[in-house]
Amino acid sequence: MNVLDPAGPDAGRLAELSWILFIGGGAIFALVLAITFFAMQGSDRSRKRLSGNWLVWTGGIAFPVAVLTGLLVYGLLLMGAESRPAEPDLRVHVEGRQWWWRVSYEEPDGSRLESANEIRIPLGREVEFVLTSPDVIHSFWVPSLGGKLDMIPGRTNRLRLTADRPGVYRGQCAEYCGGPHALMALEVIAMPAGEFDAWRAQASSPVENAPARGGELFLATGCGSCHTVRGTSAAGTIGPDLSRLGERRQLAAARLPMSAENIARFITHGQDIKPGNLMPEFRFLTADETAAIASYLAELK
């Protein structure tokens, strides 16, 4: 994650501001050190000059007032620079939860496409993230794409972003939310608009789930009380939607790379992998059963 490596105009403006702050702050720090040095080690003449009240008035009052006023005006102009269209091209609802992200894309027909922990966005189109939380305060932050914005229970915050460089950008919950907060990350995949449209059309088409042993075990073990897999009787909403789990790059809020082995480990030893997370461990499953469920889930695409 790198604030100074912007992948869109919003992050670009923040990077510009950051550079000005780093360079300006560095120069002022050097100046203060130099004045301090001369006040302590300089000749009698320069020490006498530096001990006058004028330094307090100029360096202590006038200079900070001028610099901070300039920065404020500059910051306001910079942040208000772009006029936004009334309606974004795409709206993605992101709900911060202890300790993962519920993601749902608003479809043109008003329905929703559910996912979790990974967000795909089309390049060059304005995306509005609708940020909420059902439990405690979280903060949505993808440094390469823009500034951070809190997700506050009972409130809806909106963040507009555009990506103009394809790539995978990692984000992180930036407001301490208890337990495994540090392990609550996400990925944003910025892809060419045409590819995005094709992906979305495919992702929201009805799924046909071939009956598999892993799928039956998944339902029999009760996973469906917390998880949804479209096209099956699993319709729980306490945990992430698993309908297309196998297509995601990462598991459990970017804790581990996606693979059948890691899914199996998470099912039986999730509390070692992500201590405190809200999914119970299923240690009573045999290795064979766990592997069957894991390979079934890894294949959901």
Give the binding site for ligand HEC (CB under 6 A). 99-100, 116-117, 218, 221-223, 225-227, 238-240, 242, 245, 251-253, 263, 266-267, 274, 277-280, 282, 293, 297
* Residue 226 contacts which entry, ligand HEC, Cu ion, none (Cβ below 5-8 A, type-dependent): ligand HEC
Closer residue to ligand HEC (CB): 7 or 252: 252
- Residue closest to 253 by CA, chosen among 92, 146, 97: 97
Rounded least distance, CB 108 to ligand HEC, Å: 25
Tell me how far, at minimum, the Cβ of 117 lies from Cu ion, in Å.
Answer: 13
- Identity of the residue, 159 or 253, whose beta carbon is nearer to ligand HEC in the bound complex: 253
List residues binding Cu ion (CB under 5 A).
Answer: 138, 173, 177, 181, 184
- Is the Cα torsion angle 34, 36, 37, 38 positive or negative in sign? positive
DSSP state of 141: -
**CA distances from residue 161 to 92, 179, 285 in whole angstroms, order as listed:** 11, 29, 44
| Pairing between β-strand 112-116 and β-strand 256-257 as defined by DSSP bridges | unpaired
Report in angstroms how near the CB of residue 66 gets to ligand HEC at its nearest: 49
In the bound complex, what is the minimum distance in angstroms from residue 177's beta carbon to Cu ion?
3
Nearer to Cu ion, 169 or 196 (CB): 169
**30 with 173: CB under 8 angstroms?**
no
What b/e sequence results for 22-57 when a residue is b if at least 16 CB atoms lie within 10 Å of its CB, and e otherwise?
A: eeeeeeeeeeeeeeeeeeeeeeeeeeeebeeeeeee
User: Smaller CB distance to ligand HEC: residue 7 or 151?
Assistant: 151
